[in-house]
Amino acid sequence: MLNQRLEVRQKLNLKLLLKQDLELLTYQTQELEKLIHEEVLVNPLIKGVFKKIPKSFEVKETVPYQIPYTPSELEELQQNIKLELEGKEQELALELLNYLNEKGFLSKSVEEISDVLRCSVEELEKVRQKVLRLEPLGVCSKDVWEFLELQIEEIYPEEEEILKKALRDLKRGKKLKPEIKGKLSRLRLFPLSSSAEKVYTFAKVDAIIEEENGEFFIYLYEDFIDIDLNEEYWELYKKSRNLQKELKEAFERYESIRKVLDIRRRNLRKVLEKIVERQKDFLTGKGSLKPLTLREVSSEIGIHESTLSRIVNSKYVKTPVGTYSLRTFFVRESAEGLTQGELMKLIKEIVENEDKRKPYSDQEIANILKEKGFKVARRTVAKYREMLGIPSSRERRI
């Protein structure tokens, strides 16, 4: 009977895991290791497994695109907007962030904001709906009720109708069943928990890609850390009813963490395999990054795009050509089939070969690209120039 219950638990859908456990997908390796150490101390059923971590997982070179602190939730959202949206949609999404309160809700109505931004309500609402589903989830919600409904859609899709009805009953002051109330209590009340920046020193990478004689090998940090069941307490758990009640929560926590660790390990490896498959030329120093999107990879490996986004965020991989954020390998196709990286490379080359006494303006660079057959807007040139750290034409003038 017990084994049957365990089998049922192991088949739980990812969406049924607690929100706080889903956050483990976003943890960097050192954060994950610290959390497991803490769980071993407070949970009698968890026994940590820590093998000797190879020194190759340590990073000594400068990490490209690394910033000297963990970005705040709002900065993470800004980064995701720039990665997932383009053109007018990106501009409107970034503008929306100027109308947030400290909890992550809109401080004005969509109608009021659309008047200020001089766009249609329908256009702005379409963008807002996309922002809502980026990480961190739910930023730009109109109120707590919309945020709660969004979390239900993401975490409890199988019970969406029941739980949304429970929310409506709660608004009307009706009492809820303990089981339903328990599930709703696991939802967050605010999209942004804090805007504070956490300082850290980047010391370890999450994965390593090595190449030897044209063959690639992938190593994960997770291969060296895990959790096991404490057999002594497990035997007590099975034999004693009193202890079953006391240790039920600890056992569920063990199962949930084990489930998420398995999801992290399995899907991170699949993601890296897709990256190696698509970006082989870049990883061997023979070419630029090719177009690759989260949607494409999530479809191929069979997980939701939002889950993949959680797995990819804040992860770093050491490759034969340097250490990069996993996000670096996901690039949209840009002008005339160019990727963002290829377009940035062209802009850099144009600036490097310009007359320093009369440097090109962003519009002039756009015109040069147009002559080469690439139709690029001036504001796109400006955005990529800033990403490359290239000053404006006035500042470049000698």
Are 381 and 362 contacting, i.e. CB atoms less than 8 angstroms apart? yes
Query: Domains plus CATH for the chain?
Result: 18-50+205-329 (no CATH), 73-185 (1.10.10.1330), 334-388 (1.10.10.60)
Residue 73: partners with Cβ closer than 8 Å, 6 or more residues away: 104, 136, 139, 192, 193, 194, 195
Mean pLDDT of the 171-182 span? 79
Indicate if the pLDDT at residue 332 is higher than 60. Answer: yes
Where are the alpha helices (H) located in 230-339, listed in sequence order? 231-239, 241-278, 280-283, 294-301, 305-312
C-alpha dist (Å) from residue 146 to 11, 106, 152, 212, 339: 30, 11, 10, 51, 36
Q: Where does the pLDDT of residue 333 fall: very low under 50, low under 70, confident under 90, or very high at 90 and above? A: low
Peptide bond into 136 cis (omega under 30): yes
Alpha-carbon gap, residue 322 to 222, rounded angstroms: 21
Q: Is 148 helix (H, G, I), strand (E, B) or coil?
A: helix
At 17 the pLDDT is: 46
Give which of 215, 214, 218, 331 is closest to 273, Cα–Cα.
218
Please state, in angstroms and as integers, the Cα–Cα distance from residue 162 to each residue in 19, 100, 165, 304, 395, following that order: 18, 30, 5, 22, 60
Q: pLDDT > 70: what percent of the chain?
A: 83
pLDDT band at 263 (very low <50, low <70, confident <90, very high): confident
**Other CB atoms closer than 10 Å to residue 271's CB: what's the count?**
26
Whether the pTM exceeds 0.75: the reply is: no
pLDDT tens per residue, range 94-105: 889 888 888 889
Cα–Cα distance measured from residue 331 to residue 68, given in angstroms and rounded to the nearest whole number: 24
